[in-house]
Chains A and B, each alone.
Chain A
Amino acid sequence: MSAVNIWEKMLNVDRRWIFLGIGIVSIVPFLIGFGMPISTTIEVEGIFNFVNELGPDDAIFIGFDFAPGTQAENMPMAVAVMRHAFHNHTSVFMTAYVPLGKGMAVSALDYVTNPKTDGYYERVLYEDWVDYREAGITNKEDLTTAWESDGNVLPEGAVGWVFEGRDYVLLGYLPLFHLVILGMTGSIETQFPVDYHGNPIGDMPILMEHKSLRDVDLAVTTSGSSACVAWITYGREKIGLPIAFGVTGVMATDYFPYIQSGQIVGQMGGLRGAAEYEVLLKENGITRTTDKAFTGMDVQSAAHIFIILLIVMGNIAFFAGGFHKQTRLKGRR
């Protein structure tokens, strides 16, 4: 067998071997868990610092503007920001730009309030605290005190209460969402008369304190498409609403101009961005541990190294075999 044939054989390797390699490097790091340290960037710190400055009188929007296809990247971002806001008692509105985003919002909320999640929040449904609302107790501190003085005990492992209609509201999806953003600049209630569960939102304390996007302090759009730009076009440019992006890794390069121009306060790019936010949460004592994005970064490290090795091997075979002098390769690809 001549040397050229070896290089040609290498270049024409059955791609199922490559698929197998990617499969192995994607699974093994999950089992071993290297836990390599992650440094944070100013793009993610910008969002973290902004949310960190907010308090009980403030509110943020989290846009679940992605479908399940990109949830591995987008979901940890939304979860991290939600936990941060809940920790600061900042109210959270949840919306979806795409129909399937509504299901993603439900999943994120379920995860943050699931007793199996480390440092979860105990959820109090809207109908469960109706007596307190009718008694005029809507301030977070007073509400928690009154709720606990009535014998409600925070379960073991939970780090706080979150009251539906006070700490969060799930608004869901509406068609032509860019028009919904425009409409919410005037009134949130006109666009969403009821929440996801059919509760009239006009009676909710969160709406009484934040009637339109003008009363909202930040909108974080976690997006797997260019839908995130609508928040800038119709939210930022019309009323000056501060915007933050959480986008997939392949999209992240597209939106650097918005950071430099100051149109967004920061950007979480791909799983790396989410992992950085998790690191910041842990370093600042907001969560005890990092979460899924941080774990996933070991997989990304291994996969990137593997792909780079493939590129190097492909180039060695290409040049050593003298294929750069030929117009096309022979054989099966």
Chain B
Amino acid sequence: MKRTVPLMIVMVGGILMMVQYFIPHQYSQVIFNNYLEWAPIVGAFALILGVGSLTRLHTHKIRRKAQNWQYSWAVLIPLFGMPLFALIIPQSLGGGSDVHGVHDFLFMHIQVPIQSTMFSLLAFYIASAAFRAFRAKSALATILLLAAVIVMLGQVPIGDVLGKWLPNTGLWILRYPNLAAKRAIMLGVGFGMLATNLKIIFGVERNWLGGAGK
């Protein structure tokens, strides 16, 4: 039962939505509209489940004083603090949608700088990695290295200053060899997704059940 019911739901739902896309009939549209209403509701329940699991995991860590348990507070406090300031506490104190209050302050002065800083660190690590790992060890590696240097220079204004051929060659690499390779990868991924989806819909692929009913 634990396996059959989910498999049936996936099969019926999958086939229905697949067929629906190609039928421009009124009834088909009704099914589609119902799906659009239902899916976010199901998604909202999944969100509750996710928040619940996360809270349980971290409260257990704090209770048991597991390794690095202090960081669990860093998860739990913002997890409940931000919605509290945005929704529950009155807007004059907590902020909310159109009053610049605590919620906006936390977002603009903590979350935004933290995320920007994390992403900025990439530049430092890329520079270090390029110095240590980018080697012309073989013919293919040399081609890769040359292409990277040309594209890097072509993408910045100094490339124009050094010579018009640099940005032109950089753009040529992006528009032709890069495009061909990307298209091949995208087609491969697309066919792979199609095959996997069909396998899931028809019950051939059952790993997503996570061993339920065994």
List chain A positions with a Cβ less than 8 A from chain B.
11, 13, 15, 18-19, 21-23, 26, 34, 36-39, 41, 67-72, 100, 103, 107, 174-176, 179, 182-183, 186, 196-198, 249, 252-254, 256-257, 260, 270, 272, 297-298, 300-301, 303-308, 310-311, 313-315, 318-319, 324, 333
Give the shortest distance, in Å, between A231 (CB) and chain B (any CB): 16
Chain B residues whose CB sits within 8 angstroms of the CB of A21 once the complex forms: 127
Residues 152-194 of chain B, each 1 if its beta carbon lies under 8 Å from chain A, else 0: 1101111011000001000100110011001100100000000
The reply to whether A324 and B123 contact each other, CB–CB distance below 8 Å, is: no
Residues A333 and B132 in contact, CB atoms below 8 Å apart: yes
CA distance A300 to B174 in the complex (A): 19
Residues of chain B with a CB closer than 8 A to A68's CB: 111-116
Q: B174 touches which one: A198, A253, A324, A333 (CB < 8 A)?
A: A253
Evaluate contact between B116 and A72: CB separation under 8 angstroms.
Answer: yes
Contact of B152 among A22, A34, A196, A307 (CB under 8 A): A307
Known: A182-B36, A260-B179, A311-B134. A272 touches B156 (CB 8 A): yes
Smallest distance from the beta carbon of A128 to chain B beta carbons, Å? Answer: 13
| CA distance in complex: A18, B98 (Å) | 44
- B174 pairs with A256, CB closer than 8 A: yes
- Complex Cα spacing A324 to B116, Å: 38
Complex-state Cα separation, A277 to B44, whole angstroms: 39
Let me know if B130 and A36 touch, CB within 8 A: no
The total of chain B residues at the interface (CB under 8 A) is: 51
A175 touches B149 (CB 8 A): no
Q: Within 8 Å of chain A (Cβ to Cβ): is B145?
A: yes
User: Is the Cβ of A22 less than 8 Å from the Cβ of B123?
Assistant: yes
B57 at the interface (CB under 8 A from A): no
Whether A310 and B130, one on each chain, are in contact in the complex, defined by CB atoms closer than 8 angstroms, is yes
Give CA–CA (A272, B183) in the complex, Å.
Answer: 23
* B210 touches A (CB below 8 Å): no
Contact B160 A308 (CB under 8 A): no
| Contacts from B to A (Cβ < 8 Å) | 33, 36, 39-40, 43-44, 47, 97-98, 107-108, 111-116, 118-120, 123-124, 126-128, 130-132, 134-137, 145, 149, 152-153, 155-158, 160-161, 167, 171, 174-175, 178-179, 182-183, 186
The 23 listed contacts between A and B (C-beta, < 8 Å) are: A19-B127, A19-B128, A21-B127, A36-B157, A36-B160, A36-B161, A69-B115, A103-B111, A174-B40, A175-B43, A253-B182, A257-B182, A257-B183, A270-B155, A301-B158, A304-B153, A304-B156, A310-B127, A310-B131, A311-B145, A315-B135, A315-B145, A318-B135
B78 nearest CB across to chain A (Å): 13
Cα A253 to Cα B155 in complex, Å, equals: 12
Residue numbers in B under 8 Å from A15 (CB-CB): 128
- Selected contact of A18 from candidates B111, B120, B127, CB within 8 Å: B127
B149 & A308 in contact (Cβ 8 Å cutoff)? yes
Expressed in whole angstroms, the Cα–Cα distance for A19 and B132 within the complex equals 13
Asked whether A69 lies within 8 Å of B119 as measured between CB atoms, the reply is yes
Query: Smallest distance from the beta carbon of A141 to chain B beta carbons, Å?
Result: 28
Measured CA separation A94–B155 after assembly (Å): 29
For A301, list chain B residues within 8 Å (CB). 156-158
Chain B residue with the shortest CB-CB distance to A41: B171
Q: Which 4 A-B pairs have the closest CB atoms?
A: A36-B157, A69-B119, A68-B115, A310-B131
In whole angstroms, what is the CA distance A311 to B39 when docked? Answer: 50
Cβ–Cβ contact A100 & B175, under 8 A:
no
The answer, among B39, B108, B158, B186, for a CB contact under 8 Å with A304, is B158
The distance from the CB of A57 to the nearest CB of chain B, in whole angstroms, is: 28
* B107 surroundings in chain A (CB, below 8 A): 100, 103
Which chain A residue has the least Cβ–Cβ distance from B184?
A257
Q: How far is the CA of A182 from the CA of B135 in the complex (A)?
A: 47
Q: Is B40 a contact partner of A179 (Cβ separation < 8 A)?
A: yes
Given contacts A307-B127, A333-B132, could you give 14 more A-B pairs where the C-beta distance is less than 8 Å? A23-B124, A175-B43, A175-B47, A179-B36, A249-B155, A253-B182, A257-B182, A300-B156, A303-B127, A306-B127, A308-B149, A311-B149, A315-B135, A319-B136
